[in-house]
Amino acid sequence: MTIRFDATGAIARIQRICDTLEIADPAEEPPALSPDEPGHPDYHHRQRVEHARRVLARVTPLRYRSATSDRPEVVAWVEAAVASWRSRATSEPVPVPSLLLYGPTGTGKTFAGFGALRRVAEAGLPRFGAEFASWPELLAQLRPGSGEEREQGLRRLMDAPWLLLDDLGRAKDSAWTEEILYRLVNHRYNVMLPTIITTNVPLKQFTAVFGDAPGGRLIEMTAGGRVAVTGEDRRLVR
Ligand SMILES: Nc1ncnc2c1ncn2[C@@H]1O[C@H](COP(=O)(O)OP(=O)(O)OP(=O)(O)O)[C@@H](O)[C@H]1O
Ligand SMILES: [Mg+2]
């Protein structure tokens, strides 16, 4: 028996099936999506920004909820860090620089740090996440914990996509604090995750105060973003 194909009839039948199922001709332009619809880049950008704002609100202490920073060095760092973060998804990722805000007490370092983080959040990055840790507070929390609790607390900060490490150096130093700092900094240094650091310690004293290994890494990580926050103690001049 010979089977004969009737090409014209077959195509007509396929066309009828496509019409019935409302399957569009792939050669035709898909209907334009509105910016409010899933699938439109603007829609997904807005979703990412809203997610980032929620993450930031969760980790930001009340005093710094409305912190902003339009310092040119902070703006430049955010632009560079955001561009490097986006490059992580490409075949040629570049290291994401960290930011160092240093200067005397009360000049606005923590405020500027949250301002920087807010700018990052507003960029609508993929895989945004953030943690905040005050260094003396962190040590006080880790010290009495069991080995496992300590490990979990530290790992959360080690792996945070963006970390604001506040008041570094404002704690009594010991071999144990240096080891904690080394583990935190070394991990973030290795996987090149961005850290915003505030401190009263001058850069020249980093290795002496933090230890050679953590101090040297901090210097290298922040080479692309160091801001001297100067002026009067804002708490006293009100
Ligand atoms: N640019 C700013 N505009 C308005 N208020 C600010 C600004 N910068 C800082 N402040 C306010 O000044 C006070 C001190 O700021 P902040 O806590 O950031 O100082 P700091 O340098 O981190 O101090 P410390 O070294 O003691 O941690 C806070 O009340 C903060 O809200
Ligand atoms: Mg501070």
Return the CATH number at 57: 3.40.50.300
Q: Is residue 23 part of a domain?
A: no
C-beta of 111 in contact with ligand 1 (< 6 A): yes
Q: Is residue 200 part of a domain?
A: yes
Q: Is residue 219 part of a domain?
A: yes
Query: Which atom of ligand 1 has the smallest separation from the CA of 229?
Result: 21
Q: Is residue 108 part of a domain?
A: yes
Q: How many domains does the chain have?
A: 1
List the helix and strand counts (H, then E) for the chain.
9, 5
C-beta of 60 in contact with ligand 1 (< 6 A): no
- Please report the pLDDT score of residue 1 as a whole number: 64
C-beta of 136 in contact with ligand 1 (< 6 A): no
Q: Give the largest Cα separation in the chain, rounded.
A: 101
Query: Which atom of ligand 1 has the smallest separation from the CA of 113?
Result: 18
Q: How far is the CA of 7 from the centre of ligand 2 (A)?
A: 77
Compute the distance between CA of residue 126 and CA of residue 171 in angstroms, rounded to an integer: 35
Compute the distance between CA of residue 4 and CA of residue 108 in angstroms, rounded to an integer: 83
Among 23-32, 76-85, 191-200, 213-222, the minimum mean pLDDT is found in: 23-32
Q: pLDDT grade, residue 14 (50/70/90)? A: confident
Q: How far is the CA of 39 from the centre of ligand 1 (A)?
A: 41
Q: Is residue 132 part of a domain?
A: yes
C-beta of 109 in contact with ligand 1 (< 6 A): yes
Q: Is residue 16 part of a domain?
A: no
3-state secondary structure of 40: coil
Compute the distance between CA of residue 117 and CA of residue 78 in angstroms, rounded to an integer: 8
Q: Is residue 145 part of a domain?
A: yes
pLDDT tens digits for range 140-177: 998 877 788 888 999 999 999 999 999 999 777 788 89
- Give the number of whichever ligand sits closest to the CA of residue 166: 2
Query: Which atom of ligand 1 has the smallest separation from the CA of 63?
Result: 31
- Please report the pLDDT score of residue 35 as a whole number: 82
- Which residue range forms the structural domain that includes residue 131? 35-228
